[in-house]
Structure 1
Amino acid sequence: MAKITIQREARLPDDLRVARSLSATHLGPRILFFSGGSALNDISRHLKRYTYNSCHLITPFDSGGSSQVLREAFDMPAVGDLRSRLMALADETDLGQPDIYRLFTHRLSKTAEQEDLKAEVDAMIEGKHPLIKAILRPMRMLIQSFIQDFAKAAPESFDYHNASIGNLILAGGYLSNDRLLEPVLFLMSKMVDVRGTVRAVVDENLQLGVDLANGQRVIGQRRISGKETSPITSSISRLFLSDGKKEILPREVPLPKRNRKLISQADIICYPPGSLFSSVVANLLPAGVGRAIAASDVPKVYVPSLGHDPEAFGLSLADQVSALLAPLRADAGEDTPTHRLLSHVICDSGVDRSICAEVTARHAIPCHRVPLVDGTPDRYDPARVCEMLVSMV
């Protein structure tokens, strides 16, 4: 069988391809994202109008908020970003499972007494809480069993303040499924009719670390992002995986076969907006990611964040592209042509032409300026981003 590569010119947006996606979402393109955090959630919610086949490989290395409390209690990967992306892609209409959706997105109070918060969780286990009572069997029984598995394993000191019930359910399902994320992510996807595929890029309980240009080393996602600590004041020169103390080499963290298959089947690969290192580059560190991307003959697009990203301190757009390429080339081979790993950079039309010109000069790939903002200068218009992506397939 002969294999040929066909290239075409793309109009952004392509009205015909957009209309086709809107009319046949079940047959929509397989757009694969490497992401984490919440930056892509608005775009993901809108993407459900165009395709039910998007794929999201999410970093499980978050070390802040409710996820960190669970990580410390159960020595498990972070689930908060996974849960929030599942909810962004869930069918939120009355045809979906609105009662289950409400439970999964419910948070406990930030200010109530610890005893009252635990009592609220106990009421869910017993089937007395109104959010649980609204769910029909057998879904209700399965969800209760996951919450019960969580509660049985939770230490007496567990802090319930501002806990996401969806995160607690994920933790319980993780514990009751041989400490594996994939089974409970699959079940939660089915419970709320998720319009796409959401997976952890690897099922590993690890931290992120960075080396800074000033020689300092910082370990922990929340310290890197500066969201819960003081922001870093030197540019990041390298990102790596860590067990919390020392660096873990990529070969010790291989990309699972199921995720390699997702990459190979994608119609387009997107490095989307989000915290540059902890949300995007983090997903590119496991062994096999670079090789899987290089083996694919589809468009590979970087859509950089708008506004201020503390993790991109001191980095130009061309530098950000270098940060994406570094772990990919380390895996695929330093002589891998750039276009095999990243074929296009798509910026909003408000970005200065000289910034795009530097990207092309340094990396020999096109940097396009496309109208992607409508009204708010530091926020992408979700419809425009979705239409741009489906037009490139």
Structure 2
Amino acid sequence: MVETIIKTIIFDLDNTLHDAEFLTNRVVKKTIEVMITKGMNCNLEEGIEKFNQLLEKEPNNDKIRKLAAFFESEDEEIVNAGWDCYQNPEFKELLIYSDTNEVLGKLKGNYKLILVSQGSKDSQNKRIDALGIRDYFEEIYLPERGKKKEIFEEIFSNLGLDANQILVVGDRIDGELKIANELGMQTCRIARGKYKILEPRFQNEEPDFTINTLRGLYGVLNLKNDKLKVVLIGGGTGTSSILEGMKKYTDNITVVVNVTDTGRSSGLIRKDFNILAPGDARNCLIALSNSEKLLCDLFQYRFKNGGLEGHSFGNLFIAALADLTGSFENAIEEVSKILELKGRVLPSTFDNINICAELEDGTLLKEENAIIDRDNNEVYNRSPIRKVFHNPIAKANEKALKAIEEADLIVLSPGSLYTSIVSNLLVEGIPEAIGRSRGKKVYVCNIMSQVSQTYGYKASDHVDKIKDYLKCDLDFVILNNKDPDEELIESYKMENAHLIENDIDKIENSGISVIAEDFLDNVKERKILWEKKNLLRHDPDKISEVLAGLV
């Protein structure tokens, strides 16, 4: 988020506030028709195909002149007629982005809003009026093509502000964002439309922030809506990733975490101290923390040798507090204060339980560590899981039930399907509370399979299993449709994990809305604390923008 107080926001228009591609398809056809009438040597289909190729490969270059040159029709009358038609379309209908009015309405009154859109004044005014957004802006500038830099310099001079008090939002890293960077303003790229394929070539084309929808500005500007009540159900690294982004939108976040872990540090602590597994709670506490980085790092620190080798300091700290305060619940509350938590972390149950699995061949696995079986390289050859259950049957944490019932948004987080997500749904009362809630119910599907639980599963298989235990309908399923780096895929293949196939039609046929976009974290080296391997995960900001937009 921005570190200084923003006072003015300058917006671009095309592909920032409305879908210019919607208009472009009609304009391209009309432009080609006009150029052919003036003598361009091609038919309509050939002209449209070539023009679209130019738009895709070189959107920032002189498209009209290159098109005419390709068909050996470089007469200035043809080029000028093409440019005039392309730059001055008719506006019978335009497609405004779904969040444009919401975001501009929220920002108006809190910031000075300025609109800058390059092109014919008559054309741009018609476009603004057709979109119905004129009243949001205190000032509107419509420079001719090639005059945008002069307008930005004029605005900067008139405002009398420090450059870093001005935020420029647009889609062109080689246009308005480059100009703003050169003037020292803060810049925010909205990565949609035809120019999202452009990569920065120079330092002055690097934006300070990148968002995928206008709602991403809430995170950039730290505009939280604490009336928005969000519940995340899960507990693993997938939950932590979403929390990183969601806490930019609201502090009213509750994480309902699993407590059945019996492996590694959590498992040893459960056995030695007879308390609930602290690992998932610890990860979510850190993700919601507002304390200094060193303190967060301390809670995630794992001892590397000696009698404490493999133990997390945070797990041991929670165990000690549970002993001092008399309960696991009190321990979590005290850690929340120490870490200055923005939100709450609630165990789904306070009962000391195990998750068990019955396999298709009848084999019974009596604890989480046996289900995961992480030391077995052939676990993917094991009989598939038929069903999972708790032993003994667990009763829900009443605070968790209340949070779920009052939530505006309930997110089943990415993570281990059975041992992280379904384990929470097995707790008596939780599925029923989700069903009673009026909140939107969303499942964020994993990117990769897990060899011990979901080997061979498609996205629809994950959804079907969730529905079996959820006992109510999902509103949305979120899928990543961006292929990860091949090197990372190969590292997963070595462990017999695979990229989950998005069989979208099957999910939609069951009445669930699917949101499939590029949600992949661009950071190539994400390490999980124990195994020290690269980890594919969802991008916290991308996923949270969409989640916040659902409500």
> What band does the TM-score fall into relative to the shorter chain?
0.7 to 0.9
Residues matched between the structures, number:
314
Answer yes or no: is 1:356 the counterpart of 2:504: yes
Alpha-carbon shift at residue 107 of structure 1 (Å): 2.6
Question: How far apart are residue 69 of structure 1 and its match?
Answer: 1.0
Q: CA deviation at 1:98?
A: 4.8
Provide closer, same or farther for how the CA distance between residues 40 and 256 of structure 1 changes in structure 2, counting only shifts above 3 A.
Answer: closer
User: 2:240 matched to 1:41?
Assistant: yes
Q: Residue type matched to 2:538 in 1?
A: Y
User: Could you tell me which amino acid in structure 1 is paired with residue 217 of structure 2?
Assistant: A
Task: State how far apart, in whole Å, the 1-side matches of 2:396 and 2:274 are.
Answer: 20
Superposed, 1:94-105 pairs within 5 Å as 96-98=291-293, 100-105=295-300
Contact 1:213 1:235 in 2 (8 A): yes
Q: Distance in 1 between the 2:297 and 2:413 partners? A: 27
User: Which position in structure 2 is the counterpart of 1:303?
Assistant: 444
Report the equivalent of 1:391: 549
1:117-159 deviations in Å (ceiling 9; x for gaps): xxxxxxxxxxxxxxxxxxxxxxxxxxxxxxxxxxxxxxxxxxx
1:169 aligns with 2:317: yes
1:104 maps to a residue whose letter is F
Partner residue of 2:403 out of 262, 276, 289: 262
Do the aligned partners of 2:479 and 2:514 also contact (CA within 8 Å) in 1?
Answer: yes
Quote the Cα distance in structure 1 between the aligned partners of 2:98 and 2:469.
29
Distance in 2 (alpha carbons) for counterparts of 1:24 and 1:327: 36
1:238 to 369, 374, 387: 387
State the partner residue of 2:229.
30
AA in 2 matched with 1:108: F
From 365, 376, 383, the equivalent of 1:218 is: 365
Q: Give me the whole-angstrom Cα distance separating, in 1, the residues matched to 2:328 and 2:376.
A: 29
User: In the TM superposition, what whole-angstrom CA distance separates every residue of 1:278-308 from its partner, at most 9, and x where no partner exists?
Assistant: 0111111111111111111121011110023
- d(CA) in 2 for partners of 1:266 and 1:14? 25
Question: Quick one: higher RCO (CA 8 Å, sep 6+), 1 or 2?
Answer: 1
Q: In structure 2, what is the Cα distance between the partners aligned to 1:181 and 1:298?
A: 29
Which letter does structure 2 place at the counterpart of 1:74?
A: F
Give 1:275's match in structure 2, choosing from 416, 433, 450: 416
Paired position in structure 2 for 1:190: 337
1:346 equivalenced with 2:488 (yes/no):
no
Distance of 1:359 and 1:15 partners within structure 2: 25
Specify the code of the residue in structure 2 equivalent to 1:380: H
Residue 133 of structure 2: aligned partner: none
Instruction: Provide the residue aligned with 1:320 in structure 2.
Output: 462
| Code of the aligned partner of 1:238 | K
In structure 2, the CA distance between the partners of 1:46 and 1:350, relative to structure 1 (3 Å rule), is closer
Q: How does 1:8-27 map to 2 (within 5 A)?
A: 15-20=213-218, 22-25=221-224, 27=226
User: Could you tell me the percent identity over the aligned residues?
Assistant: 25
Task: Give the conservation status (yes or no) of the 8 Å contact 2:229–2:407.
Answer: yes
Maintained 8 Å contact 2:224/2:249: yes
TM superposition shift of 1:221: 1.2
Offset, 1:223: 2.1
The residue identity in structure 2 corresponding to 1:385 is: I
User: 1:144 maps to what in 2?
Assistant: none
TM-score (norm 2): 0.53
SS in 1 for 2:238: coil
CA distance in 2, matches of 1:354, 1:281: 20
Partner of 1:292: 433
Counterpart contact for 1:14–1:391, Cα < 8 Å: no
Give the deviation of 1:320 after TM superposition: 1.5
| Structure 2 stretches lacking a partner, 5+ long | 1-96, 100-191, 193-210, 484-499, 525-534
Contact 1:89 1:194 (8 Å CA) reproduced: yes
CA spacing shift, 1:201–1:354, aligned 2, 3 Å: closer
Unaligned runs of 5+ in 1: 1-8, 115-159, 243-247, 330-337
> Does the Cα contact within 8 Å between 2:235 and 2:283 map onto a contact in 1?
no
> Following superposition of structure 1 onto structure 2, how do residues 37-186 of structure 1 map, counting pairs within 5 Å?
37-91=236-290, 96-98=291-293, 100-109=295-304, 111-112=305-306, 114=307, 160-178=308-326, 180-186=327-333
Cα 1:72/1:367, change in 2 over 3 Å = same
Residue 82 of structure 1: CA displacement?
Answer: 0.8
Q: Residues 309 and 41 from structure 1, CA distance in 2 versus in 1: closer, same or farther, beyond 3 angstroms?
A: same
2:365 is paired with a residue whose SS is: strand
CA contact (8 A) 1:174 1:181 kept: yes
What is the CA–CA distance in structure 2 between the aligned matches of 1:378 and 1:24, rounded to whole Å?
29
The structure with the largest alpha-carbon Rg is 2
Going from structure 1 to structure 2, the CA distance change for 1:223 and 1:353 (only over 3 Å counts) comes to closer
| Cα displacement (A) at 1:84 | 1.7
Q: Secondary structure at the match of 1:40?
A: helix
Q: Partner amino acid for 2:406?
A: Q
1:238 aligns to what SS in structure 2?
strand
TM-fit CA distance, 1:370: 2.2
Q: Which amino acid aligns with 2:264?
A: G
Conserved in 2, the CA contact under 8 Å of 1:29 and 1:267?
yes
Alpha-carbon distance change, 347 to 99 in structure 1, aligned in 2, over 3 angstroms = closer
Cα distance in 2, alignment partners of residues 349 and 101 from structure 1: 32
Alpha-carbon displacement from aligned partner over 1:207-251 (angstroms, at most 9, x marks no partner): 111111222221221221232445252221211112xxxxx34xx
| Aligned residue number for residue 145 of structure 1 | none
